[in-house]
Chains A and B, each alone.
Chain A
Amino acid sequence: MQKNLKQKIVLIVAVLLVFIYGIIGIPSGVSGKAFKDAITSRIHLGLDLQGGAHLILQVMVKEALNAETDNTVQRIQQDLKAANLAYGRVFKPSPLSSSDDPNAKPEVIQIAGVSPAQASQVRTILDDKYSNQYDIEGGNGDVPFSVTMKATEITSLNQRTLQQAIEAIRDRVDTLGVSEPVIQQYGLGDNQILVELPGISDMDKVKSIIQSTARLEIHAVVGGPYKDDQEAAAAQGGAIPPEDMVVHGSGSMAAGGSDEVYVVQRVAIVAGNEFRSADPGTDQNTGQRIVNFTLTNTAGDKFYDYTSKNVGQSMAVIMGGHIREVARIDNAIRDQGYIRGSFSQDEVTILSKMLRTGALPASLEYLEDRTVGASLGADSIREGVTAAVVGVLVVMAFMLVYYRSSGINADLALFLNLVILLGFMGFSQSTLTLPGIAGVILTIGMGVDSNVLIFERIREEIRAGKAAAAAVDQGFNHAWITIVDTHVTTIVSAAILFLFGTGPVKGFAVTLTFGLLANLFTAVYVSRVIFDSHLTKLKTGEMVSI
């Protein structure tokens, strides 16, 4: 019995040391600062405690889908030409005109005007090249072919777009020099991204880094410059044809150039992710700031193809839906070129960085943003810790007074509970939020419940006349099942909270769960061992102090 007891005590001390290690690791020294550093490197503070910025962004995945099907339209046209098959038009009957248009169906492409004689050949080509990703229907008689992207393909495209956006944002956020930024998919809705930047409170700076100039493309100019939209439509014969679109902007370099209207082809010649690199530079002739860019190989081929056939035509550089520059094609360009504009030094650097890290595949919309200033965060920490300390002291004092020496037992178990809880958090690198501190306080209250259950039962057994050892034994046995029941139900609540909650609430669920698990160990095992070691010291007939 003695040896068994010694082993148990050794186990408990070992557990204590392990979890103390979890909290502070191996501190570099014994000064207060060394401890503080050691703790903060293991237990991270949430945004509401250390201050920082929090954003939720919606990725407009329909835009990427739109761009992809635009691409496919071009490829179909090339394939049909290459096979010498005549067609009327390849177009999208319901393209995306604005990012949040709910009625647009950019995933549908139609091929009209195919003669019935060639219909089956067309069908063969379509089946051959596109049936993996698209459903192909129609083509009989007057019904045009309809090529629709498969639902599974759309889903996987959306997922890729989301991942690309996350990567691009991560690159851009790096320039802010934030330690431990959080950029990940956000589960509350579809295609949402969560960005958390501890230590940064200037939301404007964050947004300008992340969101502005989302997309950069080069389009062929059909007509312009016009004074306004009506003039543009009139010049096109009354209405803008569906394969073109109207864009505003300034086509000249002059600063403050008046807002002009151009009609450009809807399908871009070259789009954002086809830029391989971009660097700031200076125009040899004019001394203007420019951005030198290089395209990827495939894009370079495409660009060369286009520019060599269209010398003398104009093309427009469009950023974020606005024209930045209209340039005339003087000769064929393969994959190296430059963009001129009225840029400041900062703009040139930022633009280059954005092109380099790959433009965002789709534009982003804010759903939510929050910032917490550092001094308010510090206030929260102070308040939370004060409440916790007062709570712990009150509970410990009460247990001592009400249960006498057994109260020491309960207090030791409580202390160990807190150590294990914080150690858990250190090991799992979880984040402590203000509700998390509340969770710690709640754990204290609920944890002591187990001790009360056991002690009350022991008192009952003593009243019923049992001897010390038997009373303790019975007390633990009867209380055990109830303790398990109560802990399981609360942990289930906490688990549901963790699944459904957002950041700070998740922190609460985590501390509550860890605390209760720790409590299962301390209130039952550790308390029992302390009682047992106390019992061995009792003389015969002496009763436990409870």
Chain B
Amino acid sequence: MEFFRTVNIDWLGKKWYFLAFSLIFSVAGVCSMVWHWQHIGSPVPLGVDFKGGTQLQIQFDQVPDIEAIRQATVAAGINDASIQNYDLPVRHEVLISLPEQKNEAALDTGRQQIVDALHAHYAGNPFKDSGVKVDVVGPTVGKQLQRKAGLATLYSMAGMLVYLWFRFQLIYGVAAVVACFHDTLITVGFFALTGQEISLTVIAAILTLVGYSMNDTIVVFDRIRENLRMSRRETLPDVVNRSINQTLSRTVLTSGLTFLTVLSLYIFGGRVLHGFSFALVVGILIGTYSSIAIAAPMLVAWQQWRTGKGKSAQLPAARRARV
């Protein structure tokens, strides 16, 4: 069985469509992030890892009644708890969140108060200790983690740039990093648009998709480099088109298979990994798209820009490291 026997699509010819598509999603994402920033003070809703606060996940014996739980907490004097259903209704799980504290002094009182309130005012539907998950994060740790996550993302991209500079040429590295940046922006934009929280595992997913997008771009670049060596007569756009067509089969298959495994995670993996798998589902699709739609056209555009200025028109094939 073979999906793509002989493909001959003019990818570069469609670059304006691609650009428009990317722009629409990027702008939508950015607008959503600006809206969030004005309303909640951060571009995307932040999970408890980053913004601090208290979060309890409780599994009740029977179907939980959200209203009754809310009344129970209010009766105990807790007015600002946010209570929502968590995961499938069949699991009887509820997520109760308290906002962040200004300092660490009162860090744990919220948890105890909520548990006591439930025991006192909602005793009809009991829960066991083994069905409780609590996260209490103080503001200090939250801020430190934000900083680390930001640094990790930057270092990752810088590392990729250096690696590609070493293996190919600087322009290849720049094109790949721009594509990665585009992927990250759109993925985070999707989080803003759908109002999902970014937790530390989501950052892990984003860093993974940076790596994955690089992979994809490298496969195309490798083929471009190989083809450039072999044929000196073809124009660069033709070489790039041909390279993409040749690797299309592999690209779609790999993305497809990885996408299937991540989809399995999204569907079966449970609520804890939900943000993580959502980031990967979006990221893999966009990452594959960006290698073809952003990175490759950038190479051609750069060369055309240089030709326009009268500099050398040949995109260097770059040294091929001996492995």
Contact = CB atoms under 8 A, between A and B. Distances in A.
A and B from one complex: yes
Interface of A: 48, 51, 56, 58, 188-189, 201-204, 207, 365-376, 379-380, 383-384, 386-388, 390-391, 394-395, 398, 401-402, 404, 434-435, 438, 441-442, 444-446, 448-449, 452-453, 456, 459-460, 478, 480-482, 484-486, 488-490, 492-494, 496-497, 499-502, 504-505, 508-509, 512
Given A188-B141, A376-B130, A501-B152, 18 more contacts: A204-B112, A366-B136, A367-B141, A368-B138, A373-B129, A380-B270, A386-B268, A387-B267, A388-B264, A441-B265, A449-B258, A452-B253, A490-B208, A490-B215, A492-B159, A492-B160, A492-B163, A496-B152
Given A189-B144, A496-B207, A501-B200, A452 B257 contact: yes
B270 to A, nearest CB: 3
Contacts of B273: 383-384, 434-435, 438
Nearest to B162: A492
14 contacts: A370-B134, A376-B131, A398-B257, A435-B276, A441-B262, A442-B258, A460-B246, A482-B222, A485-B222, A488-B163, A492-B211, A500-B149, A500-B152, A505-B200
B212 A394 contact: no
Given A56-B141, A448-B257, A493 B156 contact: yes
Contact of A390 (B2, B112, B268): B268
Contacts of B321: 481
Contact of B156 (A380, A390, A398, A492): A492
B108 interface: yes
Q: How large is the interface on B (under 10, 10 to 19, 20 to 34, 35 or more residues)?
A: 35 or more
Given A387-B268, A438-B277, A489 B260 contact: no
B20 interface: no
A376 B152 contact: no
B149 A438 contact: no
B135, B149, B226: which has the most chain A beta carbons within 10 Å? B135
Interface string B207-237: 1101110110011001000100000000000
B275 to A, nearest CB: 11
Given A391-B260, A453-B219, A490-B211, A203 B156 contact: no
Contacts of A189: 140-141, 144
A120 B320 CA distance: 73
Given A383-B269, A387-B268, A496-B156, A489 B218 contact: yes
B130 A374 contact: yes
A450 to B, nearest CB: 9
Contacts of A445: 254, 257-262
A395 B137 contact: no
Interface residues of B: mostly helix, strand, loop or mixed?
helix
Interface in B24-62: 57, 59
A126 to B, nearest CB: 38
Contacts of A494: 208, 211
B78 interface: no
Nearest to A374: B130
Given A367-B104, A367-B140, A402-B1, A375 B130 contact: yes
Contacts of B262: 441-442, 445
A489 B280 CA distance: 17
Contact of B270 (A56, A384, A398, A497): A384
B155 interface: yes
B264 A370 contact: no
A501 B200 CA distance: 8
B128 interface: yes
A375 B270 contact: no
B250 A453 contact: yes
B123 interface: no
Contacts of B246: 460
A157 B71 CA distance: 51
A499 B149 CA distance: 11
Contact of A379 (B129, B250, B258, B270): B270
A482 B218 contact: yes
Interface in B115-156: 128-138, 140-141, 144-145, 148-149, 151-152, 155-156
Nearest to B150: A500
B204 interface: yes
Given A366-B107, A501-B204, A188 B144 contact: yes
B201 interface: yes
B15 interface: no
Nearest to B139: A367
B182 interface: no
A523 to B, nearest CB: 12
Given A383-B269, A486-B215, A201 B152 contact: no
A444 B59 CA distance: 32
A283 B249 CA distance: 86
A395 B101 CA distance: 46
A372 B135 CA distance: 9
B7 to A, nearest CB: 12
Interface string B58-89: 01000000000000000000000000000000
Given A480-B323, A493-B207, A203 B268 contact: no
Contacts of B207: 493, 496-497
A391 B262 CA distance: 8
A504 to B, nearest CB: 7
A202 B138 CA distance: 19
A492 to B, nearest CB: 5
Contacts of B91: 379
Given A374-B130, A438-B277, A442-B258, A489 B200 contact: no
Given A201-B129, A449-B258, A500 B151 contact: yes
Contacts of A435: 201, 204, 273, 276
B134 A369 contact: yes
B132 A201 contact: yes
A372 B201 contact: no
B37 to A, nearest CB: 24
B261 A391 contact: yes
A490 B254 CA distance: 15
Given A207-B108, A435-B276, A395 B222 contact: no
Nearest to A450: B254
